[in-house]
Amino acid sequence: MISSNKTVKTLLMFISIWTIAITSSYAQFGTNYGSQSNKYNVDYGTPVEYTIAGIDVVGADFNDKNALINIAGFKVGEKIKIPGDAISKAVKKLWKLGIVGDVQINITEIQGNDVYLQIALKERPKLSKFYFEGIKKGQAKTLTDKVQLVRGRIVTESMIRNTQNIIKDHYAEKGFKNTEVKIVKEKDPVLANSVVLRIDVQKNSKVKIEEINLAGVEKLTEKKVKRKLKKTKEKRFGRIFTPSKFVAEEYKNDKKSLVQYYNEEGYRDAEILRDSVYDVDPKMVSIDMDIYEGTRYYYRNITWTGNYKYTNEELGKVLGITKGDVYNTTELNKRLSFNPNGQDISALYMDDGYLFFSVTPTEIMVEGDSVDVEMRVFEGEQAYVSKIIVNGNTKTSDHVIYREIRTLPGQKFSRSDLIRTQRELSTLGYFDPETIDIQPKPNMSNGTVDIQYGLTEKANDQIELSGGWGGFYGFVGTVGLVFNNFSLRNVTDFSKWRPLPAGDGQRLQLRVQASGIQYQTYSVSFTEPWLGGRKPNSLTVSYNYSNQNSYSGDVKIGSLGINAATVALGRRLQWPDDWFTMSNSLSFLVYDLNNWYATGFGDYNNGKSYNLTFNTTLSRNSIDQPTYPRRGSQVSLSVSLTPPYSAFGDKDFSDPSISDEERYKWVEYHKWMFDNAWYQSIIGDLVMAVRAHVGFLAAYNQDKGLGPFERFIMGGDGLTQQFALLGTETIGLRGYENNSIVPYESNGLGGVVYNKYVMELRYPVSLNPAATIYLLGFAEGGNNWATIDEFNPFEMYKSAGFGARIFMPAFGMLGIDWAYGFDAAPGRSDPSGSQFHFTIGQQLR
């Protein structure tokens, strides 16, 4: 009986299920992936072919009905199976438009084999405008740029959610973890089928971290572990540079960095078992973190397999890891692939053509706290360069680029040559150094490699509009044109003037400086960096005319004029290495003094002086790029010599009756200048720059003396170096007034020996080639002495401060600094104190 009842129940259940299934097969045809009342039932089991006799569209008040019918894929007179794929495809096509929020396709009438269809839809509104509430105007502008809401676009739920998420993420990055965003759609009273979005933003309080609780930390100190959470810090008094705000994304990155730190300390099994972030109150969260440290491991045996070119001992020496060293896979990979502090295994092979080389470190045994590692080497064949491909140089001629490329067809591939080529292309100044893309394209079948250089031209010609207060002159303005990629050979081809012919890597500079009728200087210079086109031997010719006048009221009472012409030849050296260059120049200057009564010239007021100078400069430049160098150094030693005229004649210059005009007719001296700059990336793009400068001027004949020419004047922004008291050289020293560091003993003539030291920390705000911007903090010191006997490199006028630099190709380097001078300048009793310095078109020396 029981069995019979079960059988009956089972049979009734089966009949019920079957009835539901049969009933569902006669579902309504109308759909929005839901349903609507429809008097015509459709049998899904037996599709029927109809001819479309008519199509109607309802609900489309703001869109073209015929266009919607075409998009759906329906045509009057065409055959259609109902039910069939054509209906579902039509619905999907209309949905993909994004302009409707509801789609149904209904049968309105069936006459024999003819069917009348209706497309019923509900249109979504368009965005007419939007505005923010609850935040300040500046923040609203920032969010407007981020959300990128476009007027006229269809408003969808996806748009609303994305906007909310973007705003929440923006504030979460700033520590506002509990930001609330409510978006309200308001009907636009003017535009039909349009809405205005009111975006209410409640930032709420910034969320900070009350405490970080660590469990499982035994082998390293908690202080050290917490220090590795770079952006996740507990709130405590005095924390300024690393705020304690909680940012979820930064916390996620810090957890990865913490595990990596443990791995680098030899704890290869370390992991964060669990962690939680929980609210303490609306303004505070706390973090609990359970860490498994594991065992600290050490290298035991390191073996090599597959190496034929170099022995195990040679590879082991380059690797620099020995038995007993802490097991650190991060350091191991650096020494295998790319070691910024020395040679690595890959460089050893790839600099000798082994482009296809690879090495895979494999743990073959872990026993106790020891790890045995096998280095599995694949050397491959040596690869030779087949073709060089250059793309992106729309302005610069190919030959200008090819002559800087170190990877030449037919030569063995060299990774070092690739890196050096990238540096050389960067220092040209014609291309964006941040986007230089070098792609080796190897062909293992024939052992060759094509190398493609992708370049992005950047503007580097300059319209120089600069100015500053030159102390003696008042305001001095400069107008200049600097064409850094000039082409002399195309001067006669006017079709290539844009505005002047360009592309051959030559440099043409035209400049005018003036301070009214008191001071004018005119200069022109031309540089050919590859004289003859075969070797990097440069030729520079320049001419300069300067005139300085003194007035009593409107009457001119004196003047100093200088005519100067220079020819210079430079070349790259191969020894001691090919980072060195040497430049030799010959200059001839004529000083014309006419009743010139200036402090710097003492009793020498009238006459002409002639200065024939030979200069030789040995320099080494290995910086990675000129605009914002991150690594490398610059060092130069310059010696300027005039002929020792007094040694050739029989005049006794100790005789006081000899006039200054005769004494200084032929200027004679020897001048030595040493400059050094060193750049090193500390963390990321944070760079330390250290500079040292020393200058020394001396006479051949002490009886004749030096006279007023070529002496050093120090202090200020260095801007007056461009228009210094004619015949002198100005050295900037921030924190002190222009030209204020002059030794008393010189009676205003200037010093004969100076030194200066500078340390800067730099951080970029933007590395965009259109406007490179970086901030800096600095400390510097320097001094200027009247005699070599007084020279003391540790006796300095000191200052410190901060500033910013903006490099724009059209104007060069613009800078502003605030500095505090800690010492009193010569002749003053109070510290120099707060000083602002503004520069245009130059770097501080």
Q: pLDDT digit string (tens) for 585-594?
A: 999 999 898 9
Q: Give 7-62 pLDDT, tens digit per residue.
A: 444 444 544 444 333 333 333 344 333 333 355 666 666 788 888 888 888 877 67
What is the per-residue pLDDT for 600?
A: 55
Query: 408 vs 412, 451, 533, 668, CA distance in Å?
Result: 8, 10, 17, 48
What is the per-residue pLDDT for 768?
A: 83
Q: What is the DSSP string of 200-266?
A: EEE--PPPEEEEEEEES--SS-HHHHHHT-TT-----TT--SS--B--HHHHHHHHHHHHHHHHHTT
* Those residues with Cβ within 8 angstroms of residue 516's Cβ, 6 or more apart along the chain or in another chain: none
CA-based nearest residue to 103, from 38, 42, 48, 34 = 34
Q: Which two tokens stand for residue 126?
A: 């368009």
Residue whose entry in the numeric block shows the structure tokens 């026993």: 367
- Contact assessment for residue 319 and residue 302, using Cβ atoms and an 8 Å cutoff: yes
* Those residues with Cβ within 8 angstroms of residue 226's Cβ, 6 or more apart along the chain or in another chain: 212, 214, 233, 234
CA 267 to chain centre: 35
What is the per-residue pLDDT for 728?
A: 78
Q: Which domains does the chain have, with CATH numbers?
A: 1-124 (3.10.20.310), 126-202 (3.10.20.310), 208-292 (3.10.20.310), 298-378 (3.10.20.310), 384-445 (3.10.20)
Q: Which two tokens stand for residue 565?
A: 């012409």
Residue whose entry in the numeric block shows the structure tokens 């060299």: 414
What is the per-residue pLDDT for 292?
A: 96
Residue whose entry in the numeric block shows the structure tokens 């793009």: 685
DSSP for residue 815: E
Residues 441, 430: Cα–Cα separation, whole Å: 25
pLDDT < 70 regions, the chain: 1-45, 61, 98, 101, 238, 240-241, 340-341, 464-476, 598-602, 718-727, 809-811, 840-845
Q: Give 166-207 pLDDT, tens digit per residue.
A: 999 999 988 899 999 999 999 888 888 888 999 999 999 999
What is the per-residue pLDDT for 726?
A: 52
What is the per-residue pLDDT for 180?
A: 94
- Contact assessment for residue 727 and residue 562, using Cβ atoms and an 8 Å cutoff: yes
What is the per-residue pLDDT for 534?
A: 84
What is the per-residue pLDDT for 708?
A: 81
Q: What is the 3-state secondary structure (H, E, C) of 52-75?
A: EEEEEEECCCCCCHHHHHHHHCCC
What is the per-residue pLDDT for 469?
A: 54
What is the per-residue pLDDT for 22?
A: 35
- The sign of the dihedral angle between the CA atoms of 406, 408, 412, 414 is positive
